């Protein structure tokens, strides 16, 4: 059974997810990073497939992606690395990347390999809902993969409802109108109002908040007003600094746990 489905069946609040770029800082880092997340009790993981032109990402993830590609990271290698963790890793995995590398790989081959590697779901920010539902939805469902949509503070209510209907796991709420990694704490009031508005919509899927989660306050805000939080840039910055996946995850957990 899909690991993410299992997780969401038994846990619906205080979810903690971490995003990292596969193949960063070294080609072989992927497996060590994933196991360190499992040891630290991370609920689910987003595995970033590096792409040369990541439009929705800020400078940190652009840079980690550039390094990972230079290290030689490819889709095939990523699937091989994930295959090797089967049996050792129980943390649910979501692949997050951009559409073009998936198209080149072949969408059906991608889905098949992802399923075989134990992946639970996929996030492709530049595959819009209409193109997904008209061209790819059946494939993803056939292979038992969740497809996760993003919403933003400017997404209108009827579109959020449509996304809720098309979703199967959770909805990824981008906290502010921004690329990843922009820590604009001044907009906190606006963000809280947005999360409150989402809560009042009583959506049928849990809302998990990402973009700009980097400390205790931003994490607690997400936990208080939604079902969970996704941390990406803040973790990658620590990983880049320490080059040690154990240290990086411990420092991150410390920084978000301290009052």
One of 10, 130, 202, 258 touching other proteins (CB under 8 A)? 130
124-145 CB burial, b ≥16 within 10 A, e <16: bbebebeebeeebeebbeebbb
17 binds other proteins (CB under 8 A): no
Q: Which range of residues in 32-40, 68-76, 219-227, 233-241 is near other proteins by CB under 8 A?
A: 68-76
Q: Pick between residue 125 and residue 248 the one whose CB is nearest to other proteins.
A: 125
131 binds other proteins (CB under 8 A): yes
Active site residue 39: no
- The beta strands (E) that lie in the chain are given as 15-21, 44-48, 93-96, 121-123, 146-147, 150-151, 171-174, 207-210, 228-231
Q: Which range of residues in 27-35, 127-135, 222-230, 240-248 is near other proteins by CB under 8 A?
A: 127-135
55 binds other proteins (CB under 8 A): yes
Active site residue 221: no
Helix 29-40 / helix 245-257 crossing angle, nearest 10 deg: 30
Token pair recorded at residue 95: 């692949």
Q: Specify the residue for token string 């992606």.
A: 65
User: Mask: binding to other proteins, 104-123, rule CB under 8 A, as x and -?
Assistant: xx------------------
Phi and psi (nearest 5°) for 225?
-110, 0
Q: What is d(CA 80, CA 104) in angstroms, rounded to the nearest whole number?
A: 18
74 binds other proteins (CB under 8 A): yes
201 binds other proteins (CB under 8 A): no
List, by residue number, the catalytic residues: 46, 57
Q: Contact positions toward other proteins, by CB under 8 A?
A: 51-53, 55-56, 58-59, 62-63, 66, 69, 74-75, 98-105, 125-128, 130-131, 149-152, 154-156, 159, 174, 177-179, 182
């Amino acid at each position: 059974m899909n690991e993410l489905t299992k997780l969401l069946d038994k846990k619906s609040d205080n979810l903690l997810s971490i995003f990292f770029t596969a193949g960063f800082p070294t080609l072989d880092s992927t497996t060590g990073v994933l196991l360190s997340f499992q040891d630290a009790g991370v609920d689910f993981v987003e595995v970033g497939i590096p792409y040369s032109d990541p439009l929705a990402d800020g400078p940190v993830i652009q840079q980690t992606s550039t390094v990972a590609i230079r290290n030689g990271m490819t889709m095939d290698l990523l699937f091989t690395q994930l295959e090797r963790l089967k049996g050792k890793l129980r943390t649910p995995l979501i692949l997050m990347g951009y559409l073009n590398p998936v198209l080149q790989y072949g969408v059906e081959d991608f889905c098949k390999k992802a399923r075989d590697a134990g992946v639970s779901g996929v996030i492709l920010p530049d595959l819009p809902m209409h193109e997904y539902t008209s061209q790819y939805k059946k494939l993803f469902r056939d292979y038992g993969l969740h497809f996760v949509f993003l919403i933003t503070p400017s997404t209108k209510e009827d579109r959020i409802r449509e996304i809720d209907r098309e979703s199967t796991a959770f909805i990824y709420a981008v906290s502010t109108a921004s690329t990843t990694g922009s820590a604009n704490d001044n907009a906190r009031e606006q963000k809280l109002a947005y999360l409150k508005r989402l809560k009042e919509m009583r959506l049928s899927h849990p809302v998990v908040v990402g973009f700009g989660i980097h400390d205790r306050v931003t994490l607690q805000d997400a936990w208080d007003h939604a079902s969970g939080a996704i941390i990406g840039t803040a973790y990658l910055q620590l990983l880049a600094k320490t080059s040690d996946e154990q240290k990086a995850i411990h420092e991150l957990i410390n920084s978000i746990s301290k009052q």
